[in-house]
Amino acid sequence: MIVLGIESSCDETGVALVRTQGPGVPTLLSAALHSQIAMHQAYGGVVPELASRDHIRRVIPLTMQVLAEAQIAQSAIDVVAFTRGPGLAGALLVGAGAACALAAAWGKPVIGVHHLEGHLLSPFLSQDPPEFPFVALLVSGGHTQLMRVDGVGRYTMLGETIDDAAGEAFDKSAKLLGLGYPGGPALAQLAEQGNPTAYALPRPLLHSGDLDFSFAGLKTAVLTQIKRLVADVPEGARVRADLMLNLSAQARADMAASTQAAITEVLVKKSLKALQQSGLKRLVVAGGVGANKSLRKQLDAACAQRGVRVHYPELHLCTDNGAMIALAAAMRLQTGSTQAQRSYAFDVKPRWPLDAIA
């Protein structure tokens, strides 16, 4: 079975082909991705209308590209999969519409996929795929969740963020430091030059006794600390990017490193607690923040001490991509947990909890 996957939930247009052969893990045949980062940088963040329009321009050419690279004819495709949600409504509609139009033209069935399930299962395309069951740390721009995963579609929520996600904490702190978009990678890069213990930032909910997260207060603490460091800032004034010029390069690097250290410590310790409570010895880390070098280093060290295996997606599969959508669809079809449909009417779910999918 060959599955074509289309991802368009936010600011990346991804298309990929995977093949299933028997009960084994699907194989990635080809993938193409277009990032809109350069377009959105001028605005300091994603502009939904521009994102949707760019998806329209990119999705069909990318589809033709992956078919050509894999040397797969349209007739050989068995199923067309698309991201149904969560994400930006307009962007989701572009991918869903394109997928259903292609499927109708080719006479193929379609299947809508949960974006976060794609992230969750993406490590199965790595050179070191996991085995069920495992604890999953799902960390992306808008989501921070710990889940017990017993199989495809068998997810139990253990803890989640009650406000800002880890990715948002990275991005918002980066903006306070005058860093460009996307902020998370820029902050992580700057943090490599800084001292992670330079500033005592809070670790929200670290000792809460549960597995929930909260990062909104960390952003406020970063803002407060920056105001202390920047000279001539009136009481109550907002910190603007141009005021960062009053900070030394080392102070900015130290702030970045201290912020990253606070976020990663919470993620690592909550993950370890989830493993302890569940009794499992396997951890899967997925989502864009899962590419963070500091997070991977600390998780690897902590889990090695406890005899826990850690699995990550390949770096190019940490961001949004079509491969994870095709993979999730293929694995659902393999297990029989979802059936592809030949009805080409579609809807999208901009808000769609992962534990609510059938």
Q: What number is the average pLDDT over the span 293-309?
A: 97
Whether 200 and 299 share a structural domain:
yes
**182 Cβ contact partners less than 8 Å away, ≥ 6 residues apart:** 37, 171
Q: Report the alpha-carbon distance of residue 225 to residue 239 in Å, rounded.
A: 11
Both 113 and 183 in a single domain? Answer: no
Across the range 23-46, mean pLDDT stands at 94
pLDDT at 25: 87
pLDDT computed for residue 181 by the predictor: 87
pLDDT at 234: 53
Average pLDDT over residues 288-314: 97
Residue 137 has pLDDT above 80, yes or no: yes
Residue 122 has pLDDT above 70, yes or no: yes
**Alpha-carbon dihedral 196, 199, 204, 210, rounded to 10 degrees:** 50
How many percent of the chain have pLDDT more than 70?
A: 95
Cα torsion through 288, 289, 294, 296, rounded to 10: -70
Both 241 and 329 in one domain: the answer is no
Task: Looking at the chain, list the stretches that DSSP marks H as alpha helix, in order from N- to C-terminal side.
Answer: 37-40, 48-70, 89-106, 115-121, 166-176, 183-191, 216-229, 249-278, 293-305, 322-335
At position 197, the amino acid (one-letter code) is T
- Is 99 in the same domain as 246? no
Q: Tell me, yes or no, whether 222 and 105 share the same domain.
A: no
pLDDT at 140 over 90: no
Give yes or no: residues 225 and 283 share one domain.
Answer: yes
Q: What's the mean pLDDT when you consider all of the chain?
A: 93
**Those residues with Cβ within 8 angstroms of residue 190's Cβ, 6 or more apart along the chain or in another chain:** 177, 179, 252, 253, 256, 257
Which percentage of the chain shows pLDDT scores above 90?
A: 86
Q: Are residues 169 and 307 in the same domain?
A: yes
pLDDT at 300: 98
User: What would the mean pLDDT of 105-111 be, rounded to a whole number?
Assistant: 98
Q: What is the pLDDT of residue 233?
A: 53
One DSSP character per residue, 61-125 reads: HHHHHHHHHHT--GGG--EEEEEEESS-HHHHHHHHHHHHHHHHHHT--EEEEEHHHHHHHGGGG
In whole angstroms, give the CA distance from residue 256 to residue 260: 6
Q: Which residues of 104-141 are buried (b: 16+ CB within 10 A; e: fewer)?
A: eeeebbbbbbbbbbbbbbbbbbbeeebeebbbbbbbbb
Asked whether the predicted pLDDT for residue 236 surpasses 60, the reply is no
Give the CATH number of the domain where residue 43 resides.
3.30.420.40
146 and 287: one domain?
Answer: yes
Q: 108 with 177, same domain?
A: no
- pLDDT category at 152 given cuts 50, 70, 90 is very high
* Rounded average pLDDT over 155-183: 93
The confidence band for 162, taking pLDDT boundaries of 50, 70 and 90, is: very high
Total-model pTM: 0.94
Q: Which residue would you say has higher pLDDT here, 246 or 42?
A: 42
- Do 156 and 10 have their domain in common? no
pLDDT > 90? residue 79:
yes
DSSP 229: H
Instruction: Indicate if 145 and 257 belong to the same structural domain.
Output: yes
Q: What band does 268 get if pLDDT is binned at 50, 70 and 90?
A: very high
Report residue 297 as tokens. Answer: 């280093």
Average pLDDT over residues 229-233: 66
Average pLDDT over residues 78-93: 98
Average pLDDT over residues 111-123: 97
Task: Quick: pLDDT tens for 317-340.
Answer: 999 999 999 999 999 999 998 899
pLDDT confidence of residue 356: 82
Cα 123-23-325 angle, rounded to 5 deg: 40
- SS3 at position 208: coil
| Count of domains observed in the chain | 2
Claim to verify: residue 161 and residue 289 sit in the same structural domain: yes
Q: What is the pLDDT of residue 21?
A: 87
Q: Which domain holds residue 326?
A: 2-123+317-356
